[in-house]
Amino acid sequence: MRAPLSASWRSHRGVLACLILLLAGNAVLPMINTTHPVARVLDYLVAYALAFLAAWLAWARARREGPAAFGLLGLGAALGGLHYLPTQLHLPQAALAGPAISILGLLALGAGFLRWPQQIRMKRDRARTVLDGVAIALSMFTAAWLAMGSMAWVGRLPQRVMLMYALQISASLGVLALWLLQEIRLMLPEQSQAKGYVRAALIALLCHGSISALLRVTGHYQGYTAHGSEVLHQAANFLLALAALSPSSPAKPEAARRAPSALQAFIPSAVSLAVLLLAAFQILRPHAEPQRALLGLGVALLSVLMLRHGLLILDLERLSQDLEGRVEERTRKLEAHHHEAMGDLRMRMMAGLAAGLAHDLNNILGIIRLRVDLLEETSTPVQRENLAVLRETTERAATMTRRILASGRAQDIAPTAFDFTDWMESRGALFQALLRPDQTQDLQVSRDLHVFADPQSLDQVFQNLVTNARDAMGPTGNLCIRAQHGPGSVLVEVRDDGPGIPPEHLARMFEPFFTTKAKGTGLGLATVRNLVIQNRGSIRIESQVGQGTAFLLELPAPERLLLA
């Protein structure tokens, strides 16, 4: 506590000196306020000054840096100072009005707890927090009612005045329970000093209410003893002012990870159940007079408990449903990843096998080309024509083997950040040239798109996709290529208006050697997928029979790669 006080003293020396003088005045003036009327008036003025200075500091803190809960703490300090006003003005029922104003101040402090930013783990956490405080306060008030029984007077106090003090003490306990038992929910760990001062102020208010009630009951609330007990109330306002002046401190890492205590959560219910058992014993006692007020308090307390636990059950059911949904979603993702991993493994195995066969076939084709060259030297013109066909066929076979070999190994790529908008627009003419004469394209590219990828491999990707769309569309089909910003990526859609892909074929479209074309090799889309994955992107297909097919690509933006 010494370090926070010295930090506050360095930054608010004048204000702290004024607060200390006011608190000292509240302690000294009661010694002489009975000797001179001016001293008595000055005693009250000092009490008001301390209360309203604390309120002004809290309101200024709420406006300056927050949290907004400081505004309600300031209201509590102001109301705490005004509880002297009914007695000073000799208002009727001043003995009841003073504690009533104090109770309003305590409610403002409780509202300050609720207004403080909190970690909401369940939807109805705040409502249950309020019910916890109400349960503690109502339990204490019910216990006081049980203790007083049917007595018209409690010591020197009439029952109604004593009940008002019991209500004030119960409210103090209820609000203090919020700040002590539920402190784990409060956010802003850097404000731990301020929260500590508020808890100390509530303890001072609880002691003030208890000591004042005890002194009044025993008839000792007079002279300096009476006025001296009020110093506890002024000390509470002093502590609220310190809370408003306290600087932010470095947050402790363990404070944010501290788990809620099951014992602390159980205390309000345990106290309420204990008081309910005592009330039930009193009500059901043989030959006891009907106690409707006690029965009403018991019913109210039981209702608070039922509502509190009912809200908890609703939250647990909602949490269970959310957990089931998350588990199902996670299971679906794991199954999809498993299916994708198995597909990748199968593709690698098939591609490796095909690459081995293609390598052997390429060697055989090399021998055939060599023999063709030798035969051309001694062949007749007719034979040369046949040999030309044979050479062209072997060249086509060699090209196919090169494509098989390329699809079976990762290609060397050089990713770089570049302007994807300009790059796509510069290839519009190439894409149109790949289409048939009467087919059209609609290129829609957003401004300021940038990707981190290999331009040459992307060129191969889009040429393959455009070629596939050309073969799928009719003579007058339209190809739409749309590129736009995504969350940390660039989203590209290549959509044709062809006949679409049957559902049973969709899952196999990226498999090597799977094709729906009469003269296709089944390597184009497999190569596209490998190149997209090598560029740290993703690709998927959406298609409906009769409505066309869309290839959806997600390419990494430079910002995402820098943060990865």
Contact status, residue 468 vs residue 527, Cβ threshold 8 Å: no
Question: What pTM value is reported for the model?
Answer: 0.57
pLDDT score, position 253: 45
Structure tokens at 142: 């019910």
Contact status, residue 240 vs residue 77, Cβ threshold 8 Å: yes
* Element containing residue 20 per DSSP (H, E): helix 13-28
Q: List the pLDDT tens digit at each of the 564 positions of the chain.
A: 455 556 666 667 788 888 889 888 888 877 776 667 777 788 888 889 999 999 999 998 888 876 778 888 889 999 988 888 888 888 888 888 888 998 999 889 888 887 777 666 667 777 888 888 889 899 989 988 888 877 777 777 888 888 888 888 898 888 888 877 766 666 656 577 888 888 888 888 888 888 888 888 888 777 767 777 788 888 898 998 888 888 766 545 444 445 556 677 778 888 888 888 888 888 887 765 667 888 888 899 899 889 888 888 888 888 888 888 888 888 888 887 777 677 666 666 666 666 677 667 777 877 887 877 888 777 788 787 877 877 777 777 777 676 666 655 556 678 899 999 999 999 888 888 889 988 999 999 999 999 999 988 898 899 889 988 998 898 899 999 999 998 889 999 999 998 988 888 887 787 766 677 656 666 678 788 888 988 889 999 999 888 899 999 999 988 654 444
Report phi then psi at 219, rounded to 5.
80, 15
379 CB-near residues (< 8 Å, 6+ apart): 387
pLDDT score, position 422: 93
* Residue 440, beta-bridge partner list: 478
Q: Alpha helix locations (H) across 484-523?
A: 503-506
Q: 């990226």: which residue's tokens?
A: 510
**What are the start-end ranges of the E strands in 25-147?**
none
Contact status, residue 213 vs residue 158, Cβ threshold 8 Å: no
pLDDT score, position 414: 82
* Element containing residue 544 per DSSP (H, E): strand 538-544
Q: Long-range contacts: 427-431, Cβ < 8 Å, 24+? A: 427/459, 427/462, 430/463, 431/462, 431/463, 431/466, 431/479, 431/481
Shortest CA distance to 536 belongs to which of 457, 432, 437?
457
* Residue 494, beta-bridge partner list: 481, 551
Q: Give the chain's count of helices (H) and strands (E).
A: 21, 9
Whether a cis peptide bond, with omega within 30° of 0, leads into 487 is no
246 CB-near residues (< 8 Å, 6+ apart): 4, 7, 8, 191, 193, 194, 197
Exposed / middle / buried, residue 42 (Cβ in 10 Å: 0-12, 13-18, 19+): middle
Q: 């008030």: which residue's tokens?
A: 141
